[in-house]
Chains A and B, each alone.
Chain A
Amino acid sequence: EAGVAQSPRYKIIEKRQSVAFWCNPISGHATLYWYQQILGQGPKLLIQFQNNGVVDDSQLPKDRFSAERLKGVDSTLKIQPAKLEDSAVYLCASSTRQGGNTEAFFGQGTRLTVV
């Protein structure tokens, strides 16, 4: 079974530029998550999708971050414009929906450096 795929693995941009990350979840997984992991901290949930609908985006900085999940499969996360404090690893994860309380499977992440 293929895992969660993310691209790119690394990205360096200047502040005020825009950037996009792509995620392909495990086939059949209805739930998709985007997490931000700042160096030395635990992952922080940015947005959670159930199929192509948003379940939780309460911690997404909506003035600069946006995400979509077209057709309930792939997802993209965009930052525009980027700030220095956006430097982090962006993790995508997916899980099945089996009555809730299921573990998530993570991709390798995209390491973003904003200079």
Chain B
Amino acid sequence: GNSVTQMEGPVTLSEEAFLTINCTYTATGYPSLFWYVQYPGEGLQLLLKATKADDKGSNKGFEATYRKETTSFHLEKGSVQVSDSAVYFCALSALAYSSASKIIFGSGTRLSIRP
């Protein structure tokens, strides 16, 4: 079945450091891939997405490239800020048997940024 595996946290970095959070997936067909972010006390928010191979999603300085050959969608940011501290979830959306999207999440990676 479809699944998402992301690197375990927590990840602690200093401000302005480079960030990579790894995500790999298993899916039949051609899923869309997402990164969601959950700030403390808030709901899940879509951070970025990519809908086909080699697409690059980007938002707020974060980027991720849909790599079909390695089934990966790693999240990167060149210079993190304290305000980026949150839990990040990799997710995929693949067509269910009824043609409605089914969204599957990874276990999440907690990111803490030190000033």
A residues with a Cβ closer than 8 A to B are 30-31, 33, 35, 40-45, 48, 50, 55-56, 91, 93, 95, 97, 99-109
Contact with A along B67-99 (1 / 0, CB 8 A): 000000000000000000000010001111011
Q: Does B34 contact A (CB under 8 A)?
A: yes
Give the residues in chain A near B89, CB-CB below 8 Å. Answer: 42-43
Q: Does B46 contact A (CB under 8 A)?
A: yes
Cross-interface CB contact of A42 among B45, B99, B102, B108, cutoff 8 Å = B108
Q: Does B113 contact A (CB under 8 A)?
A: no
Q: Does B103 contact A (CB under 8 A)?
A: yes
Q: Cβ of A55 and Cβ of B98 under 8 Å apart? A: yes
Q: Does B51 contact A (CB under 8 A)?
A: yes
Give the number of chain B interface residues (Cβ < 8 Å): 29
Closest chain-A Cβ to B96's Cβ sits at a distance in Å of 6
Nearest B residue (CB) for A109: B43
Could you tell me the distance between the alpha carbons of A104 and B49 in the complex, rounded to whole angstroms? 11
Give the residues in chain B near A40, CB-CB below 8 Å. Answer: 108
Known contacts A31-B100, A108-B42, A109-B43; decide if A100 and B93 are in contact (CB<8 Å): yes
Known contacts A41-B108, A102-B93; decide if A50 and B46 are in contact (CB<8 Å): no
The 16 listed contacts between A and B (C-beta, < 8 Å) are A31-B101, A41-B107, A42-B4, A42-B89, A42-B108, A43-B89, A45-B102, A55-B96, A55-B102, A97-B101, A100-B95, A100-B99, A100-B101, A104-B103, A106-B43, A107-B43
Q: Cβ of B100 and Cβ of A100 under 8 Å apart? A: yes
Q: Cβ of B45 and Cβ of A106 under 8 Å apart? A: yes
Closest chain-A Cβ to B58's Cβ sits at a distance in Å of 15
Could you tell me the distance between the alpha carbons of A104 and B96 in the complex, rounded to whole angstroms? 15
Give the residues in chain A near B51, CB-CB below 8 Å. Answer: 101
Nearest B residue (CB) for A49: B100
Closest chain-B Cβ to A22's Cβ sits at a distance in Å of 15
Could you tell me the distance between the alpha carbons of A103 and B45 in the complex, rounded to whole angstroms? 10
Q: Does B22 contact A (CB under 8 A)?
A: no
